[in-house]
């Protein structure tokens, strides 16, 4: 009984008995089970959050693709609208130029006609003045009376 190994063995068995008597292994198992449950819950929460993050990421990517498609659509529409406006503006400009050209050509034609009329009038006036000078210098009173009578007779015959 004086052997220390004996007393260590007795102490060990007494300690093991006290531990079993007070149900320490059950408490340790319960504590480990509770800790395992907490860890499991945290893992489940982490998985749920991961899945939620993946869903949000997928939604973000989808929205980004949709936004890019919409932006491309807007750009395409804007380019088409710009092209349409350019064509429309060019057509209106061409029409306006044609109208202005026609107006200018009309003014030029009227000016030419007016100039020709003025030249003709001036030529006629010059011819009348020249004829008047020639006639007045070479025509006698009796000859003038005969010409007036002949003209009246001619007019009378033409009017009847």
Q: What angle do CA 12, 17, 23 make, to 5 degrees?
A: 130
At 104, the pLDDT band (50, 70, 90 cuts) reads very high
Identify the pLDDT of residue 40.
97
**Residue located via tokens 């025509």:** 139
Separation of alpha carbons 121 and 113, rounded Å: 12
| pLDDT class of 53 with cuts at 50, 70, 90 | very high
Please compute the mean of the pLDDT values over residues 113-142 and round it to a whole number.
Answer: 81
Residue 59's pLDDT is what? 97
Res 160 pLDDT > 80 = no
Question: What is the C-alpha separation between 116 and 110, in angstroms, rounded?
Answer: 10
pLDDT of residue 21: 79
In angstroms, the CA 98 to CA 6 distance is 128
CA pair distance 37, 44, nearest whole angstrom: 10
Mean pLDDT, range 18-40, rounded to an integer: 88
State CA 121 to chain mean position distance. Answer: 61
Chain Cα centroid distance, residue 151: 81
Three-state SS at 1 = coil
Mean per-residue pLDDT, 139-150? 76
Structure-model confidence comparison of residues 45 and 146, the more confident one: 45
Instruction: Read off the pLDDT of each residue in 110-121 and give the average, rounded to a whole number.
Output: 90
């Amino acid at each position: 009984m004086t052997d220390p190994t004996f007393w260590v063995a007795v102490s060990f068995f007494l300690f093991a008995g006290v531990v079993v008597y007070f149900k320490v292994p059950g408490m340790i198992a319960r504590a480990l089970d509770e800790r395992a449950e907490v860890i499991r819950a945290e893992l489940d929460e982490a998985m749920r959050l991961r899945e939620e993050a993946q869903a949000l990421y997928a939604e973000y990517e989808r929205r980004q693709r949709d936004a890019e498609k919409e932006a491309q659509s807007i750009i395409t529409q804007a380019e088409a609208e710009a092209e349409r406006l350019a064509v429309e503006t060019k057509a209106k400009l061409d029409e306006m130029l044609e109208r202005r050209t026609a107006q200018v050509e009309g003014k030029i034609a009227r000016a030419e006609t007016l100039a020709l009329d003025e030249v003709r009038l001036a030529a006629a006036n010059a011819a009348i003045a020249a004829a008047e000078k020639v006639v007045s210098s070479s025509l006698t009173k009796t000859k003038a009376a005969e010409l007036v009578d002949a003209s009246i007779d001619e007019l009378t015959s033409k009017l009847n």
